[in-house]
Structure 1
Amino acid sequence: MDAVELARKLQEEATCSICLDYFTDPVMTSCGHNFCRKCIQMTWEKGRGKKGRRRQRGSFPCPECRELSPQRNLRPNRLLTKMAEIARKQPGYQSSDLCPVHRELLKLFCQDDQAPICVVCRESREHRAHRVLPIEEIVQEYKLKLKGDMEYMQKEMAKTRRFQAEEEQRLAAWQEKVEARRQRITAEFQKVNLLLAEQQQQLLQVLQQEEEETMARLQGSKEALEQQGEALEMLLLQLEEQEGQAPLQMLQDMKDKDPLNRKKSVNVQYPETTAIELRTICSIPGQIEVFRSFQEEVLPDPATAYPYLLLYESRQRRYLSMATDGSACSQDRFLAYPCAVGREAYSSGRHYWEVGMNLAGEALWALGVCRDDVSRKDRVPKSPENGFWVVQLYKGQKYQPVVPALAPITLTEPPSQMGIFLDFEAGEVSFYRLSDGSHLHTYTQAVFPGPLRPFFCLGAPKSGQMIISTVTLWVKG
């Protein structure tokens, strides 16, 4: 009989057939069957109340064989008590505890195959030469390893909790720092806004004072001219009345009132022309520094440059390729003006670049942005209607700027350095004098019709130089 069958038999013999549990205080009937004392007594007590059953006084049927057994003949079974105790301590074996081949308990562990085996497997050829230990020893070693691992894990958990607490503290400190910085940023911007508001108020007061002074001069000149006009009109009416008189009367009046003396008595004065150019400039502190956060390196595209427009790259110390040898020019090259456009076209975002100028002699330049598809072969007015948003930079005496409907803005005192700020989504192109940060002009429209490129245009030869980033432009003489 194998170990499993033996264990099963032991459990079966130590089990009460009434409660189906291990015996507790087992007793034996006169017929030889065993039950728990409480189980058999409860069974017989229930049987007393049933009618129609044949029984002798003090005797009850056995639950197993139905033979009558006197209640007083119940005898304790001490051997069965010990068997029940042994069965309770005996572990229940399952199929996983048995060798699938020999149906014996798996009590050994093969270290070579890393598998549990039974005592029969140990003597087989397969495992005879292998290293084999009792499972209890392997389990003990494994428990020691587990204990070591558990101690390591406990230490790591404690370390992790410590780091977690430190990280929570760091997180709280970080949030406090961020909140303090957020409040500081808000406070500083409020401070700057307050200073800008004060600066704005001062600038508006200066403008208002200039307005009032110039308005007073213009109004005084206007009133003086009105009074002089009224006096001249009265004298003219007198002369016209005298002209209509009879000859003798006219001669008498000429004798009494010498017309020459009357003419001399009129003191005709004309006021000096009052300049209406504003002296108050629009300059916001720090605005150029803000624009420079959008600054990009804008470089003119040699492939679009006028054939006799020279481009010198200072970093590479060489002239950029030009078509001055009479060869055919590409369709992208400007032929009507000494112009060039930037290499990159803009169709979104904000962009800022600066241009230096060294004007010489008489010059008429243009600077700004243009549509990517402007005419490069024909001469057209450089105006928004034709795809140009530029300011002209004029220096000299011969050129007198005329302002027709489509003419660009002309500066008669061009700056040495200019900043251009393009806000594509806002539809604005603004120009600034870098020496004092003053605003020169802004073009505004609802939507730009397409991609824009930086635009650079020079005057005649020997008119000076234009510096864009690291490239210097001038017209070949």
Structure 2
Amino acid sequence: MASAASAPPATKGSLREDLTCAICCDLFHEPVMLACMHHFCKPCISRYWRTTHGPVTCPQCRREFSCRQFQTNFLVAAMVEKVRATSSHTYIKNLEKQLRESLDNQRLRTEEHVSSIRRGKDTMETIKRLGADLQARVKGEFRALHQILHDEETCILEQLRREQEEELEKVQRHLEALKLAIKELGENVTVLQQASAVTESMVLAELPQLRPCATVNAAPEFDANAFSSKYMAPLQYITWRKMFQSLKPGPSPLSFDVDTAHPSIKVSSDKTVAVECDTMTRHVDNDKRFLQCVNILATQGFHSGRHYWEVDVGSKPKWDLGVASESIDRHARIKLSPETGFWALRLRNRNEYSVCTQPCTRLQLGSCPERIGVFLDCEDRRVSFYDADDMSLLYSFANGPRGKVFPFFSPCISGNSQEPQPIKLLHYPPVALSG
């Protein structure tokens, strides 16, 4: 027999049956318990016993009782009230409302999870597609480098082969001349030997006629050191220098446009160094010149292709640099941001780096770069900044400029008693190195 602890919980239907009076077949009203442990409504059992003559009995088990006695069961009464309350129309409506709300909430959460799964799958496809495109791009970039190295290797090996053949041909021609001379000398030796044998039996009247021998020049000198020196040179470095002519993009040889320089900026004669100065320099007013902000642009502008340049900022405590749209207002004081036509990186207080967004985006850098590389991809509309010493990415604008832009710089006014430090445009001109 199953114990009470292991018995399955009663359902609402079976509980209602247990709390139903066997006389009126309705929920107990003022439930009372007889000595036989059966329960009835107090009014019901009272009426039942009034109609009974003789000993009273239990309507269910027919057990006889000597007196009409029962006791109120308050626990059963409480249970009956709870069942009656949960069976009311208002309670059921409220419960149905809660059920609908819970169902709607579960369905909404399910739809959100399904949508999240769909977005996650879309993100995975985007990652795969973007990864495949980037892999193709990386392979293409390195394929171009491999081709440059392969072409340079082929050129050097071909030059070595030609020079080797030239040296071998010199020696070969000398050897053939020597062989011919030896042959001719051998023929003359034979003639002289024959003449010598004749002299034993007769007196020679004259010397035999000898063939003129070819003149053999001195053996060509072969300078092994001179031959090998160009191929024992630092070929990797020489090739690296030559590669600048073929890099796409290669470092752009920028120069400052003095016509755009704020009057507080002094530019070197070769237009590669700019520094702030305390006094205004003499200048010609024009529409290109910055008048409110201490800025300057490069002479070179770009509207297509990919371009890279490097700027030496040294240990300057503050500076701005990046790219600026051709249409920017150069006569007003403007807050740098893509919305105003500037995609720029800035430094303040020697180690506070930030990107000129709205609002500014602070960067946490492990070290202070002294050379900044700027990469402009006009097709992908991307402007990226690098620590040029190790080419680590500092920040990249994904929604870059449209139309023509110019490299932009600001040496800033340092505002202290120290000697102003310049910013310099770094050049890597292609150097013609003979192979």
Q: TM-score range by the shorter chain?
A: 0.3 to 0.5
Larger RCO, structure (CA 8 Å, separation 6 or more): 2
Q: TM-score, normalised by structure 1?
A: 0.33
